[in-house]
Structure 1
Amino acid sequence: MTDTRSAAIGTRLNWLRAGVLGANDGIISTAGLVVGVAGATTSRAAILAAGVAGLLAGALSIAAGEYVSVSSQRDSEKAALDLERRELAEEPEAELAELTALLAARGLSPELAREAAEQLTERDALRAHARVELGINPDELANPWHAAFASLVAFTAGAVLPLVAIVLPGASGRVPVTVGAVLVALALCGVVSARLGGAPVGRAVLRNVAGGALAMSVTYAVGTRLGT
């Protein structure tokens, strides 16, 4: 498998993991909100208004946060590439020696490391140093707009489930139906995230379900207390 294909697969997996985590956040935060409001009032309009407000606020917040985070990462990567480009222009021999040492540190013999460094430098010196020294692919710098949009969509998709589950049933069945639907969804998110990350499934599911159950229990208790 080529480095380019491996990098592309790795990027897709990272996006999938980010999407699952965004959906997970949407499920838990919205479920906690609507269950808490349902504990305080039986008004479907009030619960729906709170849920929609929470969905919008959460989705916009996570999108803005992701945009700022990825923008900072991109700025840092571009600054590192600019510095590397300048060093290659001013001190090519020193940079060649540095690349040789890095390749040798990865297990190549000194002679082979020197030969590989020279070939990589002749082909594309900046790309070689970016990959080996900085761990950056110059062609695949993170896009903050893509990250923000993906986070917004993932959060919204997750938040819709508890919102629908809380407003469709009658007053007596709202909380049980929502809790059941949310716990099932969180279990599925745990399975998917574990499979994508190569982690134990049982632990991921337990962690997800326990966290969601705790969040809904606390907000429902607070809502019930405030409602009375």
Structure 2
Amino acid sequence: MPDPTDPPPLEHSHTPEAIAARLAEVRKPDDLGDFVLGAVDGAITTFAIVAGVAGSGLSAGVAVVLGLANVLADGFSMAVGNYLKTKSDHDILDRYRRLELRHIHREPEGEREEVRQIFAAKGFQGEILEEVVDVITADKQQWVDTMLREEFGLPTAPPEPRRAAAITFFAFVLAGLAPIVPLAFSRVLGPDATFFLSIVVTMLVFAAIGAVRGRVTQMSQLRGALETMFTGGSAAGLAYAVGRLLSGFVGT
């Protein structure tokens, strides 16, 4: 039986063979950010419509129409925005890569000095520092990648734009449909019970998104769920309050 005072096991092995295999793996961009961005925004904005309509006293049919329109239009808009953002990241990376290649070609000694000063600032000195400079500058690809990371702070493998856009759109639609599903039962449940069920479903979606975020980032799943529920619920509450405030200007 394990001793409860023992430290938890590490996430991976540190044998030479395990380290070599892990470092040899191709590093793929993390899709979690795109998924969480799309899912949270989809749930928040769609429920904001449901809450705003409920706050203003409009019918469930209006919320369904507006919610579906929001899921498709805003989901596509967010996907396009994320595509353009990641495409810009690639364009910036390509621009600085060409810049570094030009500088290495025309001023190789100056670029070697930049590498030398970068690693001197990390504590290398003397013969070891010169060996590090020689090793890095012997491979032009490694040389350029080192400068992109160390001089400009750029990731050398940003997400693929079409993949980022597709994940964002899928997550937006999947989470964005949840708040309007209970509206299909509004005639049976009545407006108050339907709105309450929409709140419950939306909070469960927020909790699920937060739990996934917590699991992937290896923080507490409960904390992730509560954080996402709090931020999402705050936005939804604001939308409901605005709907109630403006209800006098909208015919019911």
Q: Which structure 2 residues correspond to residues 96-175 of structure 1 after superposition, within 5 A?
A: 96-124=112-140, 125-136=143-154, 138=156, 140-169=157-186, 170-172=189-191, 173-175=193-195
Using the TM superposition, give the Cα deviation of residue 108 of structure 1 relative to its aligned residue in structure 2, in angstroms: 2.1
Using the TM superposition, give the Cα deviation of residue 204 of structure 1 relative to its aligned residue in structure 2, in angstroms: 4.2
Please say which of residues 169-178 and 28-37 is displaced more in the overlay. Answer: 169-178
**Number of corresponding residues:** 222
Please say which of residues 125-134 and 184-193 is displaced more in the overlay. Answer: 125-134
Give me the TM-score of the superposition, normalised by structure 1. 0.83
- 2:218 and 2:152 map into 1 onto residues whose CA distance is 26
Change (3 A) 1:43 1:163: closer
Q: Identify, as 1 or 2, the structure richer in helix.
A: 1
- The higher radius of gyration belongs to 2
- 1:107 and 1:166 map into 2 onto residues whose CA distance is 63
What does residue 184 of structure 1 align with?
204
Using the TM superposition, give the Cα deviation of residue 42 of structure 1 relative to its aligned residue in structure 2, in angstroms: 3.1
Question: What is the one-letter code of the residue matched to 2:190?
Answer: A
Unaligned runs of 5+ in 2: 1-18
1:219 aligns with 2:244: no
Equivalent pair of 2:40/2:232 in contact (CA under 8 Å)? no
Q: Percent identity?
A: 28
- 1:87 and 1:160 map into 2 onto residues whose CA distance is 51
1:8 aligns with 2:27: yes
- Counterpart among 63, 71, 75 of residue 47 in structure 1: 63
- 2:87 and 2:45 map into 1 onto residues whose CA distance is 25
Using the TM superposition, give the Cα deviation of residue 227 of structure 1 relative to its aligned residue in structure 2, in angstroms: 5.2
Q: Which structure 2 residues correspond to residues 187-206 of structure 1 after superposition, within 5 A?
A: 187-198=207-218, 204-206=224-226
Give me the TM-score of the superposition, normalised by structure 2. 0.76
Equivalent pair of 1:100/1:113 in contact (CA under 8 Å)? yes
- 2:227 and 2:146 map into 1 onto residues whose CA distance is 41
Unaligned runs of 5+ in 1: none
Question: What is the one-letter code of the residue matched to 2:172?
Answer: F
Question: What is the one-letter code of the residue matched to 2:48?
Answer: G
- 2:233 and 2:150 map into 1 onto residues whose CA distance is 45
RMSD value over aligned CA atoms?
A: 2.6
Using the TM superposition, give the Cα deviation of residue 203 of structure 1 relative to its aligned residue in structure 2, in angstroms: 5.2
- Counterpart among 60, 71, 85 of residue 69 in structure 1: 85
Change (3 A) 1:219 1:133: closer
Please say which of residues 182-191 and 163-172 is displaced more in the overlay. Answer: 163-172
Deviation sequence 1:81-137 (CA, Å, 0-9, x none): 111011000011111121122122223233212112211211233234334433445
